[in-house]
């Protein structure tokens, strides 16, 4: 199989204009004759559904939550980037493009990233017009901040709730279309399979999570905006419901899955406090501006932090990276926290934590200044841990919070199944091996508001689709398959709960395919995952029936898919014999312990094809060319 990303030829600045001009249009009067399915109602899904509804298509939008407003985009805190250059500090579309390609450690597609930077400016305009209450200057203009180490202030924000406000903007636009009759919303409805007829995506099979009914929905095109798969690790900063099921089942129907091992770990989360822990909470990275990170010098030092004198402390980031110190990038900070904890020097009851200490900053700047900067974060920390960070150092530990990998899409955001489009975190497209802060919201809205509404139109205008009805054998097959899986899960009635399996799977993936990876560890992990998966299908206990509201059954289906994904992540990580971005293979590091890319051999997107469970997946490579931004090694010494 040959992958064609369909990147427009010619200069990168004109690529998107050229592509748009070459697209075929659907006659306005014909738009209402086309039906489109959107799965997921986060930033990407809701914005796509709303925009397609505005254009006049007949849209059906699905989400597993009780309301489209709950999608996990809502939890994003920091902000959204845009190359507006309102601060007159030298920003430009080209600079945002450059920073994103470099930040992605040269594993993303240049043309996609350039388009993202171009569209970033339209997103801000659209959101302001919708009434998103972005932070303002006294004169009434929009304000910006610098974020994630960027040297320009290009991040727009609404307090610490930017994701919430952007999502509510998209949700309101969506509800406006619901009222107008162009969009039909299906909440509490989960996609369980993709319907592919004559090699084209033509619909989905769903389960109504209240009544248990299995239904089919047919359409001329299907768009998946179902988010990332960080919950494969069980503990992550993702919402509990976030899952891989929609894209995984599309993968099993033929869509290639790209770079599954590219996952991002955030260094400043509140550590795990016990086995009952259900999720991890992110603390803003800005804390590292003033906090100093340390652990005891000696193993197993159980003294309280204030009893440990200066000479018995190891400020390990300041020691190893004198010029960047506590401000090294996310992946470097995370990895080093893991190393010191692996050495037995971690703090807190579980030993999986490091101190983030504000004592020096408070002494230097005064408590008031620290309160002004981080007051709300300190309060959140105290609420969860019952410790006062003004007096006792915070404890932090890294956690998974974003996945760069996802279904492979071309420049038009279409997967390898014609008619199946993938938007937002669910696709693999723009972040390469590492995502920069405040870029996830930008990508979700860019895909949903400004890209997929055009490219779906082009697909509809250039493909003549036969009418299908529910009696088609592919549809009956897909429904039978879904019903079978549901029945199978319910019939095992073993001795272990779904959560206990999920927790164990998460530990394996975190240990061997988390912050740092080795060939041996990954091989080991693959064996362990297979064994656990086998046990799952023999010994899981899913109570209740399939005919009503059954949250255990919902989880059981999702965890079954996480098992298969986990194996593919390890296979992908094993195949990629280099370190880049969030993927750190211990065998491939520089003398200083930094990630060592291998551009000669691994400058490609690894897209995997499904060949049935138990068979090794097919690897298809999309080579990456860097015409504009030239690959260079990162250094933070």
Catalytic residues: 330
Site string for other proteins, 203-232 (x = CB under 8 A): -------x----------------------
> Which parts of 253-309 fold into alpha helices (H)?
none
Which residue, 368 or 493, has its beta carbon nearer to other proteins? 493
Buried b (16+ CB within 10 A) or exposed e, 95-129: bbbbbbbbbbbbbbbbbbbbbbbbbbeebbebbee
Which residue, 106 or 449, has its beta carbon nearer to other proteins? 449
Q: What distance in Å separates the CA atoms of residue 496 and residue 505, rounded to the nearest whole number?
A: 13
Which residue, 317 or 542, has its beta carbon nearer to other proteins? 542
- Say whether residue 136 binds other proteins (CB under 8 A): yes
Select the residue interacting with other proteins from 16, 57, 171, 588 (CB under 8 A): 171
Select the residue interacting with other proteins from 126, 286, 326, 579 (CB under 8 A): 126
Helix (H, G, I), strand (E, B) or coil at 11: coil
Q: Is 27 exposed, middle or buried (0-12, 13-18, 19+ CB in 10 A)?
A: exposed
Among 62-70, 91-99, 519-527, 584-592, the segment contacting other proteins (CB under 8 A): 62-70
Q: Give min distance, CB of 49 to other proteins, in A.
A: 11
Among 6-14, 22-30, 65-73, 220-228, the segment contacting other proteins (CB under 8 A): 65-73
Q: What distance in Å separates the CA atoms of residue 334 and residue 293, rounded to the nearest whole number?
A: 11
**Residues between 175 and 204 with contacts to other proteins, criterion CB under 8 A:** 175-176, 178-179, 185, 187
- Say whether residue 25 binds other proteins (CB under 8 A): no
- Say whether residue 23 binds other proteins (CB under 8 A): no
**Residues between 281 and 340 with contacts to other proteins, criterion CB under 8 A:** 281-282
Q: What distance in Å separates the CA atoms of residue 371 and residue 423, rounded to the nearest whole number?
A: 39
Q: What distance in Å separates the CA atoms of residue 469 and residue 442, rounded to the nearest whole number?
A: 38
Q: Is 381 exposed, middle or buried (0-12, 13-18, 19+ CB in 10 A)?
A: buried
Q: Give min distance, CB of 586 to other proteins, in A.
A: 33
Q: Give min distance, CB of 219 to other proteins, in A.
A: 19
Q: What distance in Å separates the CA atoms of residue 461 and residue 468, rounded to the nearest whole number?
A: 18
| CA angle in degrees (0–180, nearest 5) for 386-508-405 | 95
- In this structure, are residues 283 and 381 in contact, taking their beta carbons and an 8 Å threshold? yes
**Residues between 465 and 504 with contacts to other proteins, criterion CB under 8 A:** 495, 497, 499-500
Among 19-27, 219-227, 447-455, 478-486, the segment contacting other proteins (CB under 8 A): 447-455
- Say whether residue 128 binds other proteins (CB under 8 A): yes
> Whose CA is closest to 18, among 364, 454, 437, 619?
454
- Say whether residue 543 binds other proteins (CB under 8 A): yes
**Residues between 553 and 612 with contacts to other proteins, criterion CB under 8 A:** none
Which residue, 124 or 460, has its beta carbon nearer to other proteins? 124
- The DSSP string of 493-522 is --SB-HHHHHHHHHHHHHHHHSSSB-HHHH
Ramachandran category for residue 334: left, alpha or beta (phi over 0 → left; psi -120 to 50 → alpha):
alpha
Q: How far apart are the first and last CA of the chain?
A: 43
Q: Give min distance, CB of 384 to other proteins, in A.
A: 7
Select the residue interacting with other proteins from 31, 72, 109, 115 (CB under 8 A): 72
> Whose CA is closest to 441, among 171, 103, 148, 44?
44
Which residue, 497 or 524, has its beta carbon nearer to other proteins? 497
- Say whether residue 130 binds other proteins (CB under 8 A): yes
Select the residue interacting with other proteins from 31, 34, 38, 51 (CB under 8 A): 51
Which residue, 451 or 569, has its beta carbon nearer to other proteins? 451
Select the residue interacting with other proteins from 92, 485, 539, 541 (CB under 8 A): 541
- Say whether residue 137 binds other proteins (CB under 8 A): yes
- In this structure, are residues 475 and 195 in contact, taking their beta carbons and an 8 Å threshold? yes
Q: What distance in Å separates the CA atoms of residue 222 and residue 183, rounded to the nearest whole number?
A: 14
């Amino acid at each position: 199989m040959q992958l064609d990303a369909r990147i427009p030829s010619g200069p990168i600045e004109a690529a998107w204009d050229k592509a748009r001009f070459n697209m075929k249009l659907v006659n306005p009067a014909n738009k209402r004759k086309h039906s489109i399915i959107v799965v997921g109602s986060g930033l990407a899904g809701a914005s796509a559904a709303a925009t397609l509804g505005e254009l006049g298509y007949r849209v059906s939008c699905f989400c597993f939550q009780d309301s489209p407003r709950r999608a996990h985009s809502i939890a994003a805190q920091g902000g959204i980037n845009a190359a507006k250059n309102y601060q007159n500090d030298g920003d430009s579309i080209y600079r945002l493009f450059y920073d994103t390609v470099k930040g992605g450690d040269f594993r993303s597609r240049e043309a996609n990233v350039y388009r993202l930077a171009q569209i970033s400016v339209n997103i801000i305009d659209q959101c302001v017009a919708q009434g998103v209450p972005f932070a303002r200057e006294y004169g009434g203009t929009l304000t910006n901040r610098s974020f994630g180490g960027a040297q320009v202030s290009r991040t727009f924000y609404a307090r610490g709730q930017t994701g919430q406000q952007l999502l509510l903007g998209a949700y309101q636009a969506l509800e406006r279309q619901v009222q107008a009759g162009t969009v039909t919303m299906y909440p509490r409805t989960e996609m369980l399979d993709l319907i592919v007829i004559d090699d084209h995506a033509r619909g989905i099979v769903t389960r109504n999570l209240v009544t248990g009914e299995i239904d089919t929905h047919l359409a001329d095109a299907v768009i998946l905006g179902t988010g990332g798969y960080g919950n494969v690790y069980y503990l992550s900063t993702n919402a509990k419901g976030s899952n891989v099921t929609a894209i995984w089942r599309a993968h099993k129907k033929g869509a290639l899955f790209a770079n599954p091992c590219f996952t991002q770990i955030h260094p400043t989360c509140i550590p795990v406090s016990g086995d009952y822990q259900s999720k991890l909470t992110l603390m803003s990275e800005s804390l590292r501006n003033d906090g100093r990170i340390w652990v005891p010098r000696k193993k197993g030092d159980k003294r309280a932090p204030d009893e440990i004198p200066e000479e018995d402390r190891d400020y390990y980031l300041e020691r190893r990276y004198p010029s960047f110190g506590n401000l090294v990038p996310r992946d470097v900070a995370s990895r080093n926290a893991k190393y010191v904890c692996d050495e037995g020097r971690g703090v807190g009851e579980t030993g999986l934590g490091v101190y983030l200490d504000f004592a020096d900053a408070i002494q230097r700047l005064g408590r008031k200044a620290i309160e002004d900067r981080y007051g709300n974060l300190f309060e959140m920390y105290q609420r969860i841990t019952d410790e006062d960070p003004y007096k006792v150092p915070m404890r932090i530990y890294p956690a998974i919070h974003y996945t760069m990998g996802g279904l492979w899409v071309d420049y038009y955001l279409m997967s390898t199944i014609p008619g199946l489009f993938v938007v937002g975190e669910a696709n693999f497209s723009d972040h390469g091996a590492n995502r920069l802060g405040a870029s996830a919201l930008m990508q979700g809205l860019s895909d949903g508001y400004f890209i997929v509404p055009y490219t779906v139109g082009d697909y509809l205008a250039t493909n003549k689709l036969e009418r299908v009805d529910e009696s088609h054998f592919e549809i009956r097959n897909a429904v039978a398959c879904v019903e079978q899986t549901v029945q199978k899960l319910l019939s095992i009635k073993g001795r272990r709960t779904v959560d206990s399996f999920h927790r164990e799977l998460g530990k394996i993936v975190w240990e061997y395919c988390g912050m740092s990876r080795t060939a041996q560890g990954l091989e080991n992990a693959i064996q362990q995952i297979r064994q656990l998966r086998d046990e799952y299908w023999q010994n899981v206990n899913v109570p209740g029936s399939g005919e009503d509201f059954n949250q255990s059954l919902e989880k059981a289906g999702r965890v079954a898919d996480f098992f298969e994904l986990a194996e593919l992540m390890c296979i992908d990580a094993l195949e990629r014999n280099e370190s880049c971005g969030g993927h750190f293979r211990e065998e491939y590091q520089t003398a200083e312990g930094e990630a060592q890319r291998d551009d000669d051999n691994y400058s490609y997107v690894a897209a995997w094809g499904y060949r049935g469970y138990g068979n090794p997946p097919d690897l298809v490579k999309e080579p990456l060319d860097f015409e504009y931004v030239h690959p260079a090694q990162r250094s933070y010494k």
